[in-house]
Amino acid sequence: MGTIFAEAVLAQTYTENIDGEVTGGPAYYIKKGLGSKFLAGFFAITIVIALDFVGNMVQSNSIGEAFNSAFGIPHLYVGIIVAVLVAMIIFGGIGRIASFAEKVVPFMALLYIVGGLIIVLKNVDMILPSFKMIVYGAFNPAAATGGIIGVSVKEAFRYGIARGLFSNEAGMGSTPHAHAVAKVKHPAQQGLVAIMGVIIDTLVICTFTALVVLMTGVIDTGLTGIALTQEAFTRGFGSFGNPFIAICLLFFSFTTIVGWYFFGEANMKYLFGKGSLTIYRIAVLAFIVFGTTMKVPVVWELADMFNGLMVIPNLIALLGMISLVAKTFNDYESKYDKLGNLK
């Protein structure tokens, strides 16, 4: 939460107006605030690869797996349909992207939470044992899983950090692109909004998913990825659980793809200007289709590697400008009350 607060504050502080559109993100605050064109360029390249190429393959791969399992639709067909739908939005500009996301995301998040809550309440006696398993499994993972995956504490931390990063993107440098264009009275206000995003993403959504998986006993099935969650909801809801998750995942992943496109677009403008966007859009759509045909473990390993690369320059910038972030927050506290009104 502290990391994403810093990202949002810096994104609001260092923006540029390109052809009438406000643009910002790590490449801009690394260049202007940290004064390193090299790290800014390195970040811009890695985020385009990590999110819009490899990351979108993860999202489309999950959608393909879910719809193939729930409705028997071939993976490739799912990829083509998703690519067409994404094309209709990304060629419409940032206004259409924002309008789509603000309408769909809150509704689907609430629907998913309600679905998870129903299963949790049906198995309320398993809440404490499930949390005990989570804590115990963090420090003795092989015993917690019966040794079926042979995981060590080191591996548990490695995958825990990787998946945590993937869930809320704090420190990854992706969300600052959205925070940069938000209209707020003070940069620190957007930082507080960013904190709420982490709370909802990880502490609420991911915890519900973990509890449903543990309470329904699917942890020992050997399933991974979206198939594990679908099996958990199938046991909790019956035959309705599989398509329920497929539809929820479609909207979650689809809005992520659209959001990541916007993040990548800001960096393509930084690197090559607006003239590069047509080729970039076509490449994004191609990777969406390609991702649905790949094996799940391969896609995730690629995603983890490129996510790690883009984190490095961003964290260097956050550490280098931490005094500016603290100064901005102190300024906000001295001028505004808890409701965001001037004192």
Domain boundaries, the chain: 2-335
Q: Which tens digits make up the pLDDT trace of 58-111?
A: 889 889 988 998 899 999 999 999 999 899 888 876 566 667 667 777 887 788
More confident: 168 or 225: 168
pLDDT of residue 16: 86
pLDDT at 33 over 90: yes
pLDDT mean over 128-133: 90
How does the average pLDDT of the chain come out, rounded? 86
Q: Which tens digits make up the pLDDT trace of 5-24?
A: 999 999 999 998 877 778 89
Burial pattern 145-170, b for ≥16 Cβ within 10 A else e, equals beeeeebeeeebeeeeebebbbebbb
Closest CA to 252 of 1, 9, 91, 60: 60
pLDDT of residue 34: 93
pLDDT at 149 over 60: no
The helix or strand, by DSSP H or E, that contains position 21, with its residue range, turns out to be: strand 21-24
More confident: 159 or 29: 29
pLDDT at 213 over 60: yes
pLDDT mean over 272-291: 91
How many Å apart are CA 91 and CA 14, to the nearest integer? 27
Closest CA to 176 of 315, 5, 1: 5
How many Å apart are CA 244 and CA 299, to the nearest integer? 24
pLDDT of residue 100: 67
How many Å apart are CA 256 and CA 3, to the nearest integer? 20
Helical H runs in 72-122? 75-90, 94-122
pTM: 0.81
Task: Evaluate whether 190 touches 9 at the Cβ level (below 8 Å).
Answer: yes
Confidence of residue 143 (pLDDT cuts 50, 70, 90): low
Contacts of 110 (CB under 8 A, 6+ apart): none
Task: Evaluate whether 313 touches 27 at the Cβ level (below 8 Å).
Answer: no
More confident: 191 or 108: 191
How many Å apart are CA 3 and CA 253, to the nearest integer? 24
Confidence of residue 323 (pLDDT cuts 50, 70, 90): very high
Confidence of residue 147 (pLDDT cuts 50, 70, 90): low
The helix or strand, by DSSP H or E, that contains position 284, with its residue range, turns out to be: helix 277-291
pLDDT of residue 140: 73
Q: What percent of the chain has a predicted confidence (pLDDT) above 90?
A: 38
CATH superfamily of this structure's domain 2-335: Amino acid/polyamine transporter I (1.20.1740.10)
pLDDT at 219 over 70: yes
Q: In whole angstroms, what separates CA 35 from the centre of its chain?
A: 28
pLDDT mean over 233-248: 88
